[in-house]
Amino acid sequence: MSSSIQKNLASKNAEYASKFTQGDLALPPAKHYLILTCMDARIDPAAAFGINLGDAHVIRNAGASARDALRSIIISQQLLGTKEIILIKHTGCGMLTFSNDDAHSLVKKNLGPSASAEIATLDFLPFTNIDDAIKGDVEYLKRSAAVSDDVIISGWVYEVETGKVRQIV
C-alpha cells in the first residue's frame, strides 16, 4: 500500500518525466563544483544558488557538515573532477538547538536501549554558532589530506528569512 506522499511522488514524477529532455547530460558536473548545504526543507539549492541541472553536485546533510560529507566530497573530486567546494550553512538551523547528550537521550527515550547502544559513539555534530561552524568546516576541509590542495573552498550563510547569502570565508 502506498502512502499519500508516495502517490504524490509518482504522480509528480510522471508529469516531470513526460517533459524531460536532458537525459544526455554528462556524468561529471559541467561547472566542476559542488555545493554542501543543509537538508533543511526551506532551502532550494537550485533556485537559491542558480544551479542548472548538470552544473554541480549538491550534497545535503544535517547542518551541512563537512565531516559527514567527506565520502561524497572525495568521490566528487577524485572520480568526477570537481575543483571547488561551496559550503553553505543557514540561519535558524536545527543543529543550533540541541547537544549530543540531548540527541542521545532522545534516541534512548523514543527507541530504547538497543538503539541507544547502537549510536552510543555517534557524534551528531551540533554547533552553537553558525559563523564559527562554517570556519571550522572550511578549515577541516583545507587540512584534510583527502581533499586536493588546489580545490577552492569557501563558506557561506544562507538567510532563510530573506533568501540572501553572505560569505564568511
Would the pLDDT of 25 be above 90? yes
pLDDT for 164: 98
Domain that holds residue 153: 4-167
pLDDT at 44: 98
Site of grid cell 559542488:
34
Asked if pLDDT for residue 117 goes beyond 90, the answer is: yes
Place of cell 517533459: 19
Per the structure, the count of domains in the chain is 1
Q: Taking the CB of residue 36, how many other CB atoms lie within 10 A of it? A: 28
Give strand pairing partners of 87.
36, 155
Q: Residue 27 pLDDT more than 90?
A: yes
Looking at residue 1, what is its pLDDT? Answer: 83
CA distance 95 to 165: 19
Report yes or no: 29 and 57 within 8 Å, Cβ to Cβ. Answer: yes
Mean confidence (pLDDT) of the chain = 98
For residues 114-129, give the mean pLDDT: 97
Give residue 157's pLDDT: 98
Q: Please report the sign of the dihedral spanned by the C-alpha atoms of residue 63, residue 130, residue 48, residue 32.
A: negative
CATH number assigned to the domain comprising residue 158: 3.40.1050.10
d(CA 97, CA 152): 30
Tell me the mean pLDDT in the region 51-56: 98
Residue 101 has pLDDT above 90, yes or no: yes
- Decide if pLDDT at 81 tops 90: yes
Mean pLDDT score, 76-80:
98
Cell numbers describing residue 6: 508516495
